[in-house]
Structure 1
Amino acid sequence: MFAGRFHSPAARGLAAFAGSWLVLALPEAAAQSQRPEITRPDIAPPPTLRATTRPAELRRPVALPPAPRQSTESEPEDASILPETREAYRTADPESDGEREGEETDTENDEKAPASQTLRRAKIDGDLSEEAPPPIPEDGKEPIEPLLVPVDGDHARINDMTAALPVDEEVDPERLGRPITPRRFGLYQPLGIRMGSFLFHPEAETNLVHTDNLFRSAASRQADTALEIAPRLRVTSDWSRHAIEARVEGLRSYHERFESEDDRKITASLRGRIDVTRKTNVAADLSYDYGQETRGSLTGPALNAPRANIETRRAALEGNHRFNRLSLQIRGARTEYDYSNETGIDDRSYTQDEAGTRIGYEFVPGVRVFVDGSANRRKHETAALADGILRDSTGTRVRAGIALDIRGTLKGEASLGWAQQKPDDARLRPTEGLILDSSLTWRPTGLTEFILSAKSDVAESDAALTSGALSRQAAIEVRHALQRNLILLAGLSYAVTEYTGTPVTERVLKETLGTEYYLSREVALTARYQHTNFFSTTPGADYTDNEVRVGVKIRR
C-alpha cells in the first residue's frame, strides 16, 4: 500500500540516501565486530595521550598485524592519539604497563646495552618517579695524580706536561699541585698545529731592552740597549693514556755597546709518563741547559772579568702509586753542573746525585697533606782556588705541606721544612736552615689571578772558607684582564741569601709592572718595567737597576 507513495521525487531521493548509507555502514560494522574489545574500567582514558618514540637503536621489534595507520620515526612526538592498532594490542592488565609477551623489559635492555648507549627514559608529564642518583666513585678508582716534587739545587719540575687536550682549554693538572701557567683570557689562546696524534706549539718573541746599570755595579754604572730574539717550540702528545712532551727554547741578545754581555742560551727537555695501571705510573725527564752566569752577587764575576758559561745536564726518574687515599712516590735524579770560561778554570763544577720519597694522604677531594724527604751527594771535580778546599758534601731535606686543587679557585702547594748541607772537610761549617717552598695560584674571578711562589735551597759557593749559601725567595704576581685582549701585570719579589762561614748577607727587592695587548690569537704586543734594589753587608756593593723592555710575540 506504500508503493504509490514512492512515486513522488522526494520519496525516491530519501530511498536512495538510505540505500547508500546501508551499503557503506554494514562493512565497517562487520570489521569493528571482528576486533577484540578492550575495557579497562579502573582507568579513565585521558583526553589526549602523548606519544614518546624511542631511539632507533633501542626500539623493540614487535610484529603488528596490518593496520590502516603505522607509527614511524617521522611521527611527531606531540601526536595526540596513538594508532588504534597499538591500543588494540596493549594488554588489559594495568600492572603490565603495556609490556607484551616475549618482549624484553627496559631493565633487561639497559643491562645488556653498553654504558655509552644507555639512554635515560623520557620524562612524561605527571610522572613523579625519581631517577637514580649517579654512582659514588670508590676509593682508588680515580686516575692517579702524581705529586709535585721540588728538585734540590734546580727548581725545574718533573712530569708537568699538559698533554692529551687542546691548549685552548685549560686542562686539569695531571697531578695535584702542579704549577699553573699564567692564564690567557678570552679568545686569545694558542691552538697549536696538529700533526697526527701530536700538537706543535711554535712561538717567537722579539724584545728591545734598555738598562741603566748593565754590570749591576754601584761604582761603574753603564747603560746599554740590546735586541733579544727568543724562539720556542713545544710538542705534546694527544693520547688517552701515557704522555710525552718535548721543549726547545733559545735566547740570543745583541748589545749595542758591550758585546761581552750578549746572552746565548738554549734549553731542551724531554719528559714522558707511562701509565702502568690506573693507580701506578712511571715518569722520566731528560734536560739540557746552556747559558751564562749573572753579575752582581758575591760569587759572580768581577766587573772586568768575563762571564762563565754554565752547562746543566739532568736525568730523573720517578714512580708513583696510590693506595686508595694514600699515595707514595719514589724518585731519583742525577744533575751535572759544568762551569767554564776563557781560562778553562772549572773549580765550581760538580755533580749531584739525589734520591727521595713522598707520602701523601687526601682527606677530601682536592686537599692533600704530605711529608717529603730526600738526600743528596755533591761531588766537585777540583778544589776551590780561593782556599784549596774540596767542597764535596752530603745533604738532607725534610718537608711537610699541603697540596690544594679547588677547581677554578685555588691550585698549587705549599711546604715548610729543614735543609742541611754538610761538607766532608771539617774546616767548612754545614749550611742549614728553615726552607719554604710554594706554588699557589688564586683566581677570585674569571678576570683576575694571584700567583704566589716561594723557593728555598742550599747553593754552592767558592768564596774563601765559605761552604755554601742558604737562599730564600718569595714573589707575588697579579694579573688582571682589563679587556678581553688587554692584560695588566704587577709583581713584587724579595730574596735573601745568607753565606755560611762569612758575615755576608745579600737582599734583592724587585718591583715589576707590565702589560700584554693581543692584536689577534697569534700576535701580541708586550711591555714591562722592572726596578731592582740590591742590598749587601759588603761595603760598596749596593746598587739599583732600571730595565724597560718592549716587544712582540708571535705564536700558534
Structure 2
Amino acid sequence: MPAAHAQTARSLLDTGFAFDLPLTDRVTVMQRPHPELAVAGVRAGAFLVFPQVDLAANATSNVFGATDAALSDGYKTVAPRLDLRSDWSRHQLLGHLRGTFRRYLDYSIKNENGYDIGVESRIDIIGTSTLRAAVNADRIYITQLSGDFPRFAAASVPLDRQVASLRGSYAVNRLQLTGDVNVTRLNYGDTRARDGTRIDQDYLDRTSTRLTARADDRVSPVTALFVQGSYSRHDYRLARVDFDRSGGELRVIGGAAFDLTPLIRTRLGLGWLTRHYRTIGVTNLTGLAIDAQADYLVTALTTISLSLRRDVRDAIVAGSPGYVALRWAAEVDHELLRNLILIARADVENDDFARIDRGDTLRHAGASALYTLNRSVMLTPSIDISARASRGAQSGQRFSEVRAGLSVTLRR
C-alpha cells in the first residue's frame, strides 16, 4: 500500500538514517500489508520490474501565491516511473527512473519538468552486516509553499541534485555500528517574476560533504537506543553575490525508539546542532535539534501520528545565511474498507531567519483518500488548504491557497 500523499517538509540534504523498530503485529494503518492488492511486478530474469504512471488533474485558487487579486488555474500532471529490484538470495541491486511533468492551463511560466534517476547496491557481508553504495540525480522544484521560496518569484525554482553515498554497517549481538559518507551537489536554476524579469539563484549553488557515525543498541524487540554524530561541510561556488555561506555544521543527537504503551509507538531524538560560517561577522546558528514521532494505534483500523522536528536550513533569501525551522505535524489514517484509506493531516512550520528581520509561519491542512480498485488501478482524490504568513521589515510573500485534484495510478 503506498504511503499517503501528505505535504511534508523535505530537506535538500538528508540529515541521517532511518530509525525505527522492526515491524510487529502492532503496525500502523499505512504499514499494514495488503498482499491481495500488492503489485506483482514483471519478471525480467533475476530482476523484478515495477512500471507505474500517475495521471492527475488539479486546480489551485492562487496560482502565484498573491496576497491580493489571486488568480486561479488548473494543471495536469503526468508522472511515469520504473522501479527495478533484484530477486537474489543474498545482496541486492535497486534502480529507479521517474519523471514528473506538470502543465498549467493558463500560465505556462509555472510548468515543471522533474526527473529522478538512481541506482543502489547492497553487499551482505556477515549476518546483518552490510555495505551499501548509491548514486542519484534528480530535479525538484521549490514552490511558493516552501519556507525558502524567493519573494516576488512567479515560477518555481528548479533545483538539480546529484548525490553519491557509501554506507557500511557492522552488527554484533544487540549492537549495530554504522558509518556513512555522503556528497551532494546542488545547482539552482534561475526563476522569473511575472513580468519576465530573471531572478538569479546561482549564488546558492554548493557542494556538501557529510560524515556520519552511529551506534544502535537493540535492548529488546520493542526498544532500541541510539547515538549519532555528523559533520557537514558546505562549499558554495560563488561568493560575489550577497556573502559567502560556506562553512560547516555539527549535529549530535541521541534517543530511543520504544513502545510507550502497547498502543503507542514512539521515536525520539534530542541533541545539539551548530552551523558556522567562514564569512567574518556572520553569527553561528546553534540550538536544540529535535526529531520525534509518536504513532497511536487507536484501533487496528485507525492510527493517529504526531511529529515534531527542529533543524537548521540554508536560506534561499538574500541577506540571511539560514533559518531555524520548527515543524509540528499530525495525521489521522483510517481504513474504512480494506481497499479504501481515508487520510486527514495538518502541520505548522515556524521559520526564524538569521541576520534579517523576518519570520515566517506556514500552515497546512488537507484530506485525501487511497482507493485501490485492484492491483493495477488506484484513485487518490485530495484537497489541501495552505496559508503563509510573513512578518518583519524583510518579510516574504503572504497568501492563502486551496488546491484540489484527482490522481489515477496505473501500475503492474
TM-score (norm 2): 0.85
1:553 and 2:409 equivalent? Answer: yes
Q: 1:524 to 1:260 in 2, by over 3 A?
A: same
Task: Give the conservation status (yes or no) of the 8 Å contact 1:378–1:394.
Answer: yes
User: Which of these residues, 343, 353, 356, is aligned with residue 502 of structure 1?
Assistant: 356
Change (3 A) 1:291 1:449: same
Give the total of aligned pairs: 388
- Cα distance in 1, alignment partners of residues 77 and 122 from structure 2: 34
Q: 1:313 to 1:208 in 2, by over 3 A?
A: same
Runs of 5+ consecutive residues of structure 2 not aligned to the other structure: 1-9, 192-197
More helix by share: 1
Specify which of 346, 357, 361 is matched with residue 492 of structure 1. Answer: 346
1:484, CA displacement in angstroms? 2.1
Query: Match of 1:328, SS?
Result: strand
Residues in 2 aligned to 1:297 and 1:154: alpha-carbon distance in whole angstroms: 15
5+ residue gaps, structure 1: 1-150, 161-171, 174-178
1:368 corresponding residue in structure 2: 224
Per-residue CA deviation, residues 64-108 of structure 1 (Å, 9 max, x unaligned), is: xxxxxxxxxxxxxxxxxxxxxxxxxxxxxxxxxxxxxxxxxxxxx
1:514 Cα offset (Å): 1.2
What are the Cα deviations for residues 465-502 of structure 1, in whole angstroms up to 9, with x where unaligned?
A: 42211223232222212112222111111212111112
- CA displacement at 1:405 relative to structure 2: 8.4
Q: Which residue among 264, 268, 271 is the counterpart of 1:414?
A: 268
Structure 1 235/412 Cα, relative in aligned 2: closer, same or farther at 3 Å?
A: farther
Q: How far apart are the structure 2 equivalents of 1:444 and 1:341?
A: 47
Q: State the structure with bigger RCO (CA 8 A, min sep 6), 1 or 2.
A: 2
Instruction: Name the counterpart of 2:134.
Output: 285
CA distance in 1: counterparts of 2:386 and 2:221, whole angstroms = 41
* Counterpart selection for 1:262 from 100, 106, 111: 111
Change (3 A) 1:236 1:405: farther
Q: Is the partner of 1:190 in helix, strand or coil?
A: coil
CA drift of 1:194 comes to 2.4
The structure-2 alpha-carbon separation of the partners of 1:431 and 1:519, relative to structure 1 and needing over 3 Å to count, comes to same
Distance 1:492 1:299, change over 3 A: closer
Equivalent in 471, 474, 479 of residue 325 of structure 2: 471
In the alignment, does 2:13 pair up with 1:154?
A: yes
Cα deviations by residue, 1:367-399 (Å, 9 ceiling, x for unpaired): 1101110111101011152x3x21111110010
Deviation digits for residues 404-457 of structure 1, max 9, x if unmatched? Answer: 589x97767331122111001122111122222245555454423344444443
Between Structure 1 and Structure 2, which shows a larger proportion of strand residues? Answer: 2
* C-alpha separation in 2, matches of 1:352 and 1:279: 30
| Cα deviation 1:276-307 (Å, max 9, x = unaligned) | 11152111221111133212667423435554
Matched ranges for 1:292-371 at <5 A = 292-295=141-144, 299-303=148-152, 306-341=155-190, 346-371=202-227
Amino acid in the other structure paired with 2:217:
Y
Q: How far apart are 1:537 and its partner, in Å?
A: 1.2
Q: Distance in 2 between matches of 1:547 and 1:384?
A: 39
Please say which structure displays the higher CA radius of gyration.
1
Distance 1:232 1:460, change over 3 A: same
2:231 aligned with 1:382? no
SS at match of 1:382: coil
Q: Is the 8 A contact 2:149 2:316 kept in 1?
A: no
In structure 2, relative to structure 1, the CA distance for the partners of 1:152 and 1:211 (3 Å cut) is closer
2:62 aligns with: 213
Match of 2:74 in 1: 225
In structure 2, relative to structure 1, the CA distance for the partners of 1:451 and 1:246 (3 Å cut) is farther
Q: Is the 8 A contact 1:525 1:552 kept in 2?
A: yes
Q: Percent identity?
A: 24
Partner of 2:5: none
Residues 446 and 245 from structure 1, CA distance in 2 versus in 1: closer, same or farther, beyond 3 angstroms?
farther
Distance 1:483 1:365, change over 3 A: closer
- Secondary structure, in 3 states, of the residue corresponding to 1:395? strand
Asked whether the 8 Å contact 2:29–2:300 carries over to 1, the reply is no
TM-score normalised over the length of structure 1:
0.64
Offset of residue 324 of structure 1: 1.9
